[in-house]
């Protein structure tokens, strides 16, 4: 589904793998979780924004702690989606991103 909507899709098993993929490819939108092994979502956002301040980043999270969510916003997350969310709401976010 994401490939049909966005074209260039890659899946990473953790934040470090996502960072390694990002360094070698460009993407219209990044979708990341805050809670990941090896590199959390906030660290990934910081690294991405340091080399591409205009990158669109959607953060999905089950965290209900405002500190992590505020950090993600502070470092440049475009949208925060709190789990659980519906497929319809996720698709609406993707469709409305300025890509």
User: Which CATH architecture fits 2-95?
Assistant: 3-Layer(aba) Sandwich (3.40)
- State residue 91's pLDDT score: 87
> Hey, how many other C-beta atoms are within 10 angstroms of the C-beta on 87?
8
Q: Which residue is it, tokens 């999270």?
A: 61
Paired with 58 in beta bridges are 31, 79
Residue 3 pLDDT more than 90?
no
Taking a C-beta distance cutoff of 8 angstroms, is the pair 33, 68 a contact? no
Chain centroid offset of residue 35 CA: 11
pLDDT tens-place string over residues 46-79:
999 999 999 999 999 886 777 888 999 999 999 9
DSSP per position, 13-69: SSHHHHHHHHTT---SEEEEESS-SSS-HHHHHHHHHHH-TT-EEEEEE----HHHH
pLDDT tens-place string over residues 6-43:
677 899 999 999 999 999 998 989 999 999 999 999 99
């Amino acid at each position: 589904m994401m490939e049909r909507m966005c074209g260039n899709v890659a899946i990473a098993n953790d934040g470090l793998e996502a960072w390694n993929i990002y360094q070698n490819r460009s993407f219209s939108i990044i979708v990341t979780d805050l809670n990941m092994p090896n590199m959390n979502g906030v660290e990934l956002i910081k690294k991405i924004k340091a080399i591409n301040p205009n990158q669109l980043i959607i953060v999905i999270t089950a965290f209900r702690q405002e500190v992590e969510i505020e950090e993600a916003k502070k470092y440049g997350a475009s949208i925060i989606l709190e789990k659980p969310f519906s497929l319809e709401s996720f698709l609406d976010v993707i469709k409305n991103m300025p890509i």
